Amino acid sequence: MLFKKLLTLVFLLTFTFNSFANTPTSTGIFKNWESFTAEMEGKKICFAQTIPSKRAPDTITREQSKLFVTFRPSENIKDEVSLTSGHDYKASTVIASSGSTNYLFSSEKNFAWILNDQEEKQFIDVMKKSTTIIVKAKTLQNAETADYYSMMGFTKAYNEAKKNCT
């Protein structure tokens, strides 16, 4: 799990700062989601991503929020769910929900992910059926943020990313 967590952090840091050897290439826009392929150190990576349709509160200055599902076939990693809310997280405060279903994310600095593979698969199933996912988190200063993600187009973007890395 720790190895997977470190790989995710490296991937997201690299993606966020656009320092890929090859800039990610869009493979399709599907309503509110987009799928991409990229190469990092000669290894293919595919992912679907979205940005929130609403962020709260407006009074907190932060970077862009994003929700990802990533595939890295050379490392046998698939269905990896991760996100950033644009701020450093207070430890263990990131929760994604749809209706009454909640998923706790592990966090480090400004990235968070689900550590359990089975929970990731369950969360992806929820994403496919939901219209909105709400991510609530706390900043290091204990302020609560909320990001509202539309799931419109998720299944098609997810399938495209998965297909491109199979």
Instruction: Residue 159: give its domain's CATH number.
Output: 2.60.40.1880
Q: What average pLDDT does the structure give for the chain?
A: 90
The answer on pLDDT for 10 being more than 70 is: no
Quick check: helix, strand or coil at residue 11? helix
Quick check: helix, strand or coil at residue 126? helix
* Closest-CA residue to 123 (of 137, 150, 104, 147): 104
pLDDT tens-digit readout, 77-102: 999 999 999 999 999 899 999 999 99
Q: Using pLDDT thresholds of 50, 70 and 90, give the confidence band for residue 133.
A: very high
3-state helix, strand, coil in the chain (%, to 5): 25, 45, 30
Q: Using pLDDT thresholds of 50, 70 and 90, give the confidence band for residue 9.
A: very low
Domain that holds residue 25: 2-164
Model pTM above 0.85 = yes
How many domains are contained in the chain?
Answer: 1
pLDDT tens-digit readout, 32-82: 999 999 998 899 999 999 999 999 999 999 999 999 999 999 999 999 999
Positive or negative, the Cα torsion across 79, 85, 88, 93?
Answer: negative
Name the more confident of 166 and 154. Answer: 154
Q: How far apart are CA 166 and CA 156, in angstroms?
A: 15
